Structure 1
Amino acid sequence: MSTIEEIRPATEADAEGIAAVFAPYATDSVVTFETAPLSPDQWRAKIRESELPFLVLDRDGEILGYALAAPWRPKPAYRFSAETTIYLSPTATGRGHGRRLLDELLKRCAEAGVRQAIAVIVDSGNPASRNLHRAAGFADAGVLRRVGFKHDRWLDTLLMQRELG
């Protein structure tokens, strides 16, 4: 039996799979400042309202990860800058899926007119996300110190940036 694996635009039907990928990050880690999982209905709304690329990595109907872009800030002058987000199921890490998802997201962002991609990475001592973004051409843009508090600790965020066009 062959496995079909594809990166494609997210649909509302993917909301439960996306919620399942994200939930352990919200409850058990510091890689997101969300402290509770988002419901499938909240994910459906995000998918519906997204004006920038929102992609899933789908293997035979199972969502292994997702990547999305969202406006960096709401002010009109920021309209060509987007924040990138990427999450993988713990069972899908370490296999190059993150890089494939990020590369496709950046390609589609450039096609949508985004000129600056910005990643906001929680500096938790786990270098995986930072290394992924550096390998994809992002450069450090600054550190915001002690801006988040989760699981009884203060956390920094590393800002990384990549020009797309």
Structure 2
Amino acid sequence: MELTIRDVASADVPAITAIYAAEVRDHVNTYEYDVPDEAGMSRRVRGVLDAGYPYLAAEHEGRLVGYAYANSYRARIGYRFTVENSVYVVAGQQGHGIGAALLERLIAECERRGYRQMVAVIGEPNNTASIRLHEKFGFRLVGVFRGIAWKHGRWLDTVQMQRTLSAGNADAPHDE
């Protein structure tokens, strides 16, 4: 599959909204219950970009088939060198390398921006495709939170994985 991985554009918001809506309604890759509308998704995209994080789109034959972004892992300043990633692929297109292409570029973009650690929060341990994808890019299991969320009538576990970026913990920040 020939893909173009590029920075997100405002014209991508309807497709991003549709991909995410399916995840909210049908799956547990997000623990959100209510599907955001396009205006809400547009604000989310703008918030990620305005904070200086990368937000990427995967396009195949003129159609958006996936997206990925990094965002703050936690709000407190001590976490400012750590990002959390999100990767979503349109239903029916998983397993064609879209997620891998997005994650590879996302890692590179985060390293270029000087981030040191990337965390993946995966919707449950039986999401083996996401776990394998992250392992392929050097993520290691940090732990599993048992019964941490409730969705679709059941308690859900959450997998946490981590990958070192750039120099990792090799040196101290210059602002301390």
Same fold (TM over 0.5): yes
Matches within 5 A, 1:1-165: 5-50=3-48, 51-165=52-166
* Corresponding residue SS for 1:90: coil
Q: Which amino acid aligns with 1:70?
A: N
Q: Which runs of 4+ in 1 moved over 6 A?
A: none
Q: CA RMSD in A?
A: 1.4
How far residue 4 of structure 1 moved from its aligned partner, in angstroms, is: 6.9
The superposition leaves residues 4-36 of structure 1 with CA deviations (integer Å, 9 ceiling, x where unpaired) of 731111122110010111111100111210112
* Corresponding residue SS for 2:92: helix
The superposition leaves residues 41-96 of structure 1 with CA deviations (integer Å, 9 ceiling, x where unpaired) of 12211222212000010123321000000000011110000000000001321111
Q: Which amino acid aligns with 1:17?
A: A
Of 20-29 and 58-67, the range deviating more from structure 2: 58-67
What is the percent sequence identity of the aligned residues? Answer: 36
CA distance in 2, matches of 1:164, 1:108: 10
Unpaired runs of at least 5, structure 1: none
* Corresponding residue SS for 2:53: coil
* Corresponding residue SS for 1:110: helix
TM-score, scaled to structure 1 = 0.94
Q: Which amino acid aligns with 2:154?
A: R
TM-score, scaled to structure 2 = 0.88
Answer yes or no: is the 8 Å Cα contact 2:119–2:163 preserved in 1: yes
Equivalent pairs counted in the alignment come to 163
CA distance in 1, matches of 2:75, 2:46: 18
Answer yes or no: is the 8 Å Cα contact 1:148–1:156 preserved in 2: yes
Of 91-100 and 70-79, the range deviating more from structure 2: 91-100
Answer yes or no: is the 8 Å Cα contact 1:11–1:47 preserved in 2: no
The superposition leaves residues 92-141 of structure 1 with CA deviations (integer Å, 9 ceiling, x where unpaired) of 21111111110000000111111100000011523111111011110001
Unpaired runs of at least 5, structure 2: 167-176
